[in-house]
Amino acid sequence: MSDCYSSGPTDIPFQLINSVPIQVCQTVWVDDPVPPGTGGGSTSNVINDVINNLTSPCFINVLHNVNSGTLQNQVSKILKDIFNQTDKLNVRFYEDKLDDKIDGDTNASPVVSNGVTTLNIDITLNNKLITTFHSSQEYIAATILHEVLHAYFRAKGSNPLVDHNDMGLFYIDNMAGGIKEVFPGISDDDARALSWGGVQESYAWAQLIKNSPTNANKIIDTNQKYRTSASGTKCN
Ligand SMILES: [Zn+2]
Number of alpha carbons in the 13 Å side-chain half-sphere of residue 153: 24
Distance 105 CA to ligand 1 centre (A): 7
Distance 149 CA to ligand 1 centre (A): 8
More confident residue, 77 or 164: 164
Distance 203 CA to ligand 1 centre (A): 14
- Note the pLDDT of residue 216: 97
Q: Which of 72-76, 102-106, 112-116, 167-171 has the lowest mean pLDDT?
A: 72-76
Helix ranges (H only) for the chain are 20-30, 57-66, 74-78, 128-131, 137-156, 163-166, 172-182, 188-195, 203-211, 213-227
Distance 114 CA to ligand 1 centre (A): 33
Provide the residues around ligand 1 (an ion) whose CB is within 5 A.
198
Q: 92 forms bridges with which residues in the sheet?
A: 51, 122
- Compute how many other C-beta atoms are within 10 angstroms of the C-beta atom of residue 178: 30
Q: What is the mean pLDDT of the chain?
A: 80
Q: Which of 41-50, 104-113, 186-195 has the lowest mean pLDDT?
A: 41-50
Domain boundaries defined on the chain:
2-227
Q: Which amino acid, 178?
A: G
Distance 199 CA to ligand 1 centre (A): 6
- Note the pLDDT of residue 108: 92
Give dist(CA 136, CA 75) in Å, integer: 20
Distance 221 CA to ligand 1 centre (A): 19
pLDDT tens by residue, 167-182: 999 999 999 999 999 9
Q: Three-state DSSP class for 13?
A: helix
Distance 167 CA to ligand 1 centre (A): 9
- Compute how many other C-beta atoms are within 10 angstroms of the C-beta atom of residue 129: 25
Distance 214 CA to ligand 1 centre (A): 23
